Amino acid sequence: MSKKKLTDKQVIDKLRIDEEYYGEFGRQWLSNSDIKNLSPNSFKQFGKVEPDNENFVKGRYFHQLILEPEKAKEFPIWSATETRGKAYKEFLEEKGLNFVLKESEALLIENMAKETVSRHEQLTELITNKEALREEPVIGTIFGHDFKCKCDLISQGIVVDLKTTSAKSIEEFIWVGKNKYNYDTQAFIYQSLTGKSMTFVAIDKQQKEYGNSGEFYHEIYVCPTSDETVLQGKQKVEQALQTYEKYYGKDKKEDIRKVIYNLKF
């Protein structure tokens, strides 16, 4: 169904459904994922739908445990064996899935989610705020183009995005986020659409030990976005939209199939 036939409220209600948000209906809007696929190294991949994979599944379970615990109760977990052998592959084929968490993997993610929610009083209040909006879609216009986003959490006047990370320090998380995963463009898009500041909350996937105590923890990073990060994201979005207009817009100027790289070696 075309978005033009629906009110904004009807659009938002429909985008709350994952199948609609990520499916054909939702693709009527640009998103941060599209911006990533309009970068100089991947603009020929624009519009490609990525299949479900291990990182997506683990991230989705982590988010559901914190934001949608009722959904998490129905999350498929492989418990028959600790290996991914023939029975596991048959299970995937039967269910039409690409990847399923093993019990040990699910337990680790469950511990990470519990720690994220319970470690620090202010963070706990932010995440568990009863007035907070969870998995909230927002639509709007940026530089003349229709955009969408789905906020993990809108709480206490800010947008909170939950991440899991393999970064070994907060500095590495920030560098990788800006230079590899487009967290800067995400911050710009989300802040533009919501009118609210944005904070990333990330938890390290690797356990660490408090000294030699035998007590383990996961490092947690709370990273409010700076004006510099948002400005960097804005510039990258502008560049990506120029690429979009050039190759994919209504008045596109060039055929993507004829593009080659021509650089001095």
Per-residue pLDDT of 42-90, as tens digits, reads 899 998 888 889 999 999 999 999 999 999 999 999 999 989 999 999 9
Contacts of residue 93, Cβ cutoff 8 Å, sequence gap at least 6: none
CA distance 208 to 217: 5
239 pLDDT tier (thresholds 50, 70, 90): very high
Q: Is the pLDDT of residue 26 over 70?
A: yes
Averaged over 234-245, what is the pLDDT? 97
Q: At what angle do helices 183-194 and 227-247 cross, to 10 degrees?
A: 90
CA distance 217 to 207: 5
**Which class for 99: exposed (0-12), middle (13-18), buried (19 or more C-beta within 10 A)?**
middle
Mean pLDDT taken over the chain: 94
CA distance 178 to 183: 5
Other beta carbons within 10 Å of 251: 6
Task: Report residue 264: phi and psi, to 5°.
Answer: -70, 140
DSSP state of 5: G
Q: What is the pLDDT of residues 130-183, one digit of tens each?
A: 999 999 999 999 999 999 999 999 999 999 999 999 999 999 999 999 999 999
CA-based torsion, 94, 26, 247, 230: positive or negative: negative
CA distance 134 to 128: 10
pLDDT at 1: 63
Q: Above pLDDT 90, what percent of the chain? A: 88
How distant, in Å, are the alpha carbons of 32, 43, 95, 130, 178 from that of 135? 15, 28, 26, 14, 23
Q: Is the pLDDT of residue 123 over 90?
A: yes
pLDDT at 31: 97
Residue found by looking up tokens 């409220």 in the block:
9
Q: Above pLDDT 70, what percent of the chain? A: 100
Angle at 260 between CA 48 and CA 180, to 5 degrees: 50
* Maximum CA extent, the chain: 64
CA distance 158 to 144: 25
Residue found by looking up tokens 């492989």 in the block:
78
